[in-house]
Amino acid sequence: MNGHGRTATAEYDNKKKITKEGLKNVLKLFAYVKPYQLEYAAGMFFLIGASLANLAFPKLLGDLVDAGNKGTLSTVLNRLVLLLVAILVIQALFSYFRAVLFANVTEKTMADIRRFTYNHLIKLPLSFFDKHRVGELNSRISSDISMLHETFTTTLADFIRQMVVIFGGIGLLIYTSPQLTVFMLAILPVVILSIRFFGRFIRNLSRLAQKKTAESNTIVEETLQGIRSVKSYTNEFFEMKRYSNKIDEVAAAGMKAGIYRGLFSSTLIIGLFGTLVAVIWRGALLLANGQMETGELFSFVIYSGYIGGTIGGVAAVVTRMQKFIGATEDLFEIFESEQEKLSELPAVGNKILLSGRINFKNLTFAYPARPGSPVLKNINLEIEPSKVLALVGKSGAGKSTFATLLLHLYEPTSGDIIFDDNLITDLNLTTLRSQIALVPQDIFLFGGTIRENISYGKQNASDEEILDAARKANALEFIDRFKERLDTVVGERGTQLSGGQRQRIAIARAILKDPKILILDEATSSLDSESEQLVQNALEKLMKNRTSIVIAHRLSTIRNADKIVVLENGEIVETGTHEELMKISSGAYRSLNEMQFSI
């Protein structure tokens, strides 16, 4: 086999694998229906009942025609009419209960799936979010799950109803006239092959359209989140063009899928209506030869129309099912990602209480996206309980990576981090992180109130505790100036507050958490002098009786640290107090000081 042949075979096998995997995922989704299986079974009973009642109409109408031709008594005709009305009422009632039960099951199931998806997503490690953009994940939670909702509510019911009508109808056709049925079914393989052929293209194009839509959602999300940067750099038209190009790609994928759907529908129409004409012609010959009754031909034609119309509707259902399978494949990519081993916050008496002693032993770390470029190399360092350790160095030296590793947001590439006598890998993540607080340079505040943002450090905190934390963080100074005080809304990402105010809210949050270990990642580097003094004063209160790791940009803020560690290219090059390091004439710390204070 030549290279092109092997490639084509590999692509076919890959598509086949995706289809099988997609179908497996669909079956897995039905596990979420299990708690509501009685309601679902009842809904299925009413669905099948309504479909079967629908199939009774052509037979009874044919009997009615035959009864009229034979001059049957009016009582028999009336009985047939009453039977038709009774079946109509039964079908209406069954359809109502089917719709209500399916809606109930669907809403409960979708709530469970949304809950599970969010709970699973929020427990995934940081490395997962390094690989996936927020807009893409948001699209999966919103549009993909909405597609599941549509499928559980209508698509699945339509598919089952169509199968009942098609196979039940074929059975009744055979019962009515085996000869005519064999003649009519001669065209069926062509229709089935058309569904398979076009369905594969429609599914792949639907997945492509979903992917492009997710990418367009990502652009919207990122642009709106960074709207200040967009406007300050006058890039509105650049973003408009970027979004427009992506939307054009979405439209192109949709239009291409539309071409295949159109060809699919045209093929079905030609096949089905051509078959119907042929059936009527053949039936007329049988009728003329006395091999068939008028009512039988009438019923047969109606059944053929039922089946033909239903098979025609399969095109739309197959398209929706292909989109559904594509959505499940995307969702299960999230579901199958391994999550962190988290647990509810344990009672204080049951959790391991850390003293604040930390040891780094032969630690090397590289980010998963760049495994060949270590950020930290062979770090050996001991941090004493309740002491202040300062990390200094140029940008990119690896200072902030310390914070992510202490919080166990990533796994070390090699070496160990030890808290007291416990390896970080042996500690429960929730136990560990509940005793560490991080105050970063770029503070993220939720869009709610000041109260909600401070109490994020302790969900069950009283107003007195929140106010006390705000007081210690020097935040009451500005909170009291707001009319709503603690109930003041801070806006998206805290944009209604100044940088210094956001920092003090973050410090109040950390104070309320009452951590044993505190990490300050350049917490004052972007503040003006007045704000820095207020924040620095709050930080000094926060650092009392806590092991503190201060990642410093302004060296004036860490002169009193118990130990200063200088990093260069991920390695420790100097360790000591401010006085000790300043005595090294050509030392890295002294050079940093002279460079900073000479400006």
Mean pLDDT computed over 267-278:
69
User: Has residue 599 got a pLDDT over 70?
Assistant: no
| 156-206 pLDDT, tens digit each | 777 777 777 777 777 777 776 777 777 666 656 666 666 666 666 766 777
- pTM value is 0.63
Let me know: does 98 contact 47? Beta carbons within 8 Å.
yes
Please tell me the least confidently modeled range out of 123-132, 519-528, 535-544.
519-528
Q: What is the mean pLDDT of residues 5-11?
A: 38
3-state secondary structure of 293: coil
Return the sign of the alpha-carbon dihedral for residues 266, 268, 269, 271. positive
Assign 41 a pLDDT band (cuts: 50, 70, 90): confident
Q: How confident is the model at residue 524 (pLDDT cuts 50, 70, 90)?
A: low
pLDDT tens, residue by residue, 531-566: 667 767 777 777 788 888 888 777 777 778 888 888
pLDDT over 50 (residue 208) = yes
Strand pairing partners for 413? none
Q: What is the mean pLDDT of the chain?
A: 75
3-state secondary structure at position 549: strand
CB atoms within 10 A of CB 173: 23
pLDDT at 13: 40
pLDDT band at 476 (very low <50, low <70, confident <90, very high): confident
Q: Give yes or no for a contact between 126 and 409, defined as CB atoms under 8 angstroms apart.
A: yes
User: Worst-scoring range by mean pLDDT, 40-49, 90-99, 195-204, 509-518?
Assistant: 195-204
Is the confidence at residue 16, as pLDDT, over 50? no
Would the pLDDT of 71 be above 60?
no
Ranges 10-14, 83-87, 134-138, 446-450: which has the least confidence: 10-14
Question: How far apart, in whole angstroms, are the C-alpha atoms of residue 574 and residue 589?
Answer: 8
Lateral strand order in the sheet of 547-551: 436-439, 517-521, 547-551, 388-393, 563-568, 571-576
**pLDDT tens digit sequence for 293-350:** 666 666 677 766 667 666 666 666 776 776 777 667 777 777 777 777 777 665 444 4
Q: Give the model's pLDDT for residue 313.
A: 67
Domain boundaries, the chain: 14-335, 443-514
pLDDT of 498 strictly over 60: yes
- pLDDT above 70 covers what percent of the chain? 72
Domain topology for 443-514? Rossmann fold (3.40.50)
Answer whether residue 6 shows pLDDT above 60: no
Mean pLDDT of 86-113: 84
What pLDDT score was predicted for residue 309? 65
Q: Which CATH class is domain 14-335?
A: mainly alpha
pLDDT, position 5: 40
Q: Is 438's pLDDT higher than 80? A: yes
User: In this predicted model, which residue has the larger pLDDT, 474 or 13?
Assistant: 474
Residue 8's pLDDT is 37
Are residues 8 and 84 in contact, defined by beta-carbon separation less than 8 angstroms? no
Q: Is the pLDDT of residue 513 over 70?
A: yes
C-beta of residue 389 within 8 angstroms of C-beta of residue 549: yes
